[in-house]
Amino acid sequence: MQPAALTDLRYAHATALAGAIRSRQLSPVELLEDVLRRAEQLQPIINPFVTLDPGPARTAARLAEQSVMRDEPLGVLHGLPVSVKDLEPTRGLRTTYGSKFFENNVPDFDGGVASRLRQAGAIIFGKTNTPHQGHKDSCDNLLGPPTRNPWDVTRTPGASSGGAAASIAAGIGALAHGSDGAGSIRIPAALCGVFGFKPSLGVVPYWPNPDFWAARSHNGPITRSVRDAAFMLNAIAGHDVRDAVSIEPLVADWLGAIENADVRGLKVAWSPDFGYAPVDPEVRKIAETAAKRFSELGCSVQEVRVPWEDPSEWASLLWDFQTAIRNDSRAREHPEWIEPTMMEQIERGRRVSTLEIGQAQLARTAFYEQARQFMESFDLLLTPQMPCVAWPVDQPPTSIDGKPTPHMFQHLQFTFPFNLTGWPAASVPCGFNSEGLPVALQIVAGKHQDVLCLQAAAAFEALQPWDAKHPPV
């Protein structure tokens, strides 16, 4: 008989599920079947998956059950179903990168995260949807229908880890892998009302990676609780020699490090708009109320204006240049397989001069120095996570609070800066707007202060729990 907390497996936490499996109160087979039923039920409605893999997953679940019954050594995530974003290669399981060019690609190897998930005993049951090579913040591509937000199926879940966040919000498993090059974990986590964590650069390996030296892309967890994210980090974090920017572990036990989180005495900066970012007034009010609650946790909270100017112009130039150099030849071969949003980035990247790229790289260095000096006075920086709630599936926001936002980076003002610095950043649900759509607060910490960032998120979650309300799907 299952414990009361697990009577509804859809929204049970991974830590509770893992304990129930180890104590033989829950079979990995039973858990997987529940996840697959939910996935098959909701796939036609919100389309969170590019590929489901029920056959091999069921085989893995039966083997996991046998290992439990034989009292064999078990991995950290033994028997837990986990989804993997379709930008991560998975051995024997279709990996499309959201691209027509790779529509039928089946790798014969695992990426760094997929490999660690399997080693930890996780059962990879599906690949979550993503835009073409994760190039934008809405979750659609030319392979099939767009992913939809489970809170309102006319809206986007955000991207590029949109399928991952939508599936977690909808109760399809407890753990999802995401990746973040300009906000791609935090954007959909915010818009779907779940927890997303972008670790410091190199904490979780990112291999294979077409450009390590861009020093921008991070792998991390998307979950419904902070503890589950820390639990997943115990399996996927740590040095990988194949990743040129991978680092040694920051902590031996992520979950243990955030138990009984105490953030009393921390100096916390709150910035509602960085002094230049447009923010929807309702979102701003909800996020500000949440930020001020850190004083109830014993923190000193100070509203600030950051010292840097809007970096979106040169940051987006670097983004578009990278998109162009990775896709130029394919775009010439099959332009009809390139979405208009991606072609626009490629064409801008083609036009840029070497001088402009060099100037943008120097601007990134100057920005880092400004941000580093700013954070010397604070332990944490809080911001709204997204400046607006989820937008219609086919209509990204062209203005926010009456201010034009024609370029994607102009409505990602709170996310991409911390890819430029490589610092840890967490997206925590903090309320709902008048339409019933999720709003989130971002928690940022300095270089390699990942444990502090997670502790702050855990403390806020304890103060203002978010997991009692679920989407209507």
pLDDT tens digits in sequence order for the chain, 473 residues long? 343 357 789 999 999 999 999 999 999 999 999 999 999 999 999 999 999 999 999 999 999 999 999 999 999 999 999 999 999 999 999 999 999 999 999 999 999 999 999 999 999 999 999 999 999 999 999 999 999 999 999 999 999 999 999 999 999 999 999 999 999 999 999 999 999 999 999 999 999 999 999 999 999 999 999 999 999 999 999 999 999 999 999 999 999 999 988 999 999 999 999 999 999 999 999 999 999 999 999 999 999 999 999 999 999 999 999 999 999 999 999 999 999 999 999 999 999 999 999 999 999 999 999 999 999 999 999 999 999 999 999 999 999 999 999 999 999 999 999 999 999 999 999 999 999 999 999 999 999 999 999 999 999 999 999 999 999 99
Q: Which of 58, 72, 73 is nearest to 27 (CA)?
A: 58
How far is residue 298's CA from residue 296's CA, in Å, rounded to a whole number?
5
pLDDT of residue 198: 98
Burial grade of 237 (CB within 10 A; 0-12, 13-18, 19 or more): buried
How far is C-alpha 309 from the geometric centre of its chain's CA atoms?
26
CATH architecture of the region 4-313+351-463:
Alpha-Beta Complex (3.90)
Residue 25 backbone zone (phi > 0: left; psi -120 to 50: alpha; other: beta): alpha
Residue 390 is encoded by which pair of tokens? 């989820």
User: Whole-prediction pTM value?
Assistant: 0.98
pLDDT of residue 22: 98
Residue 81 in contact with residue 177, Cβ under 8 Å? Answer: no
Of the residues 27, 83, 85, 138, which is catalytic? 85
Active site residue 200: no
pLDDT of residue 1: 31
Q: What is the CA radius of gyration of the chain?
A: 21
pLDDT of residue 46: 98
How far is residue 461's CA from residue 160's CA, in Å, rounded to a whole number?
25
How far is residue 438's CA from residue 384's CA, in Å, rounded to a whole number?
12
Active site residue 85: yes
Residue type, 186: R
Of the residues 27, 83, 99, 160, which is catalytic? 160
Q: Could you tell me the end-to-end alpha-carbon distance of the chain, in angstroms, rounded to an integer?
A: 27
Of the residues 184, 217, 312, 316, which is catalytic? 184
Active site residue 161: no
Q: Which residues contact 126 (CB under 8 A, 6 or more apart)?
A: 39, 49, 51, 52, 53, 57, 83, 84
Residue 87 is encoded by which pair of tokens? 């930008």
How far is residue 68's CA from residue 79's CA, in Å, rounded to a whole number?
9
Q: Where are the domains of the chain?
A: 4-313+351-463
Residue 39 in contact with residue 125, Cβ under 8 Å? Answer: yes
Residue 413 is encoded by which pair of tokens? 């003002």
Q: What share of the chain is helix, strand, coil (3-state, %, to 5)?
A: 40, 15, 45
pLDDT of residue 3: 39
- Distances, alpha carbon 330 to alpha carbons 334, 354, 458, in Å: 6, 22, 44
pLDDT of residue 7: 72
Q: Which residues contact 50 (CB under 8 A, 6 or more apart)?
A: 86, 94, 96, 98, 127, 128, 129, 130, 143, 144, 163
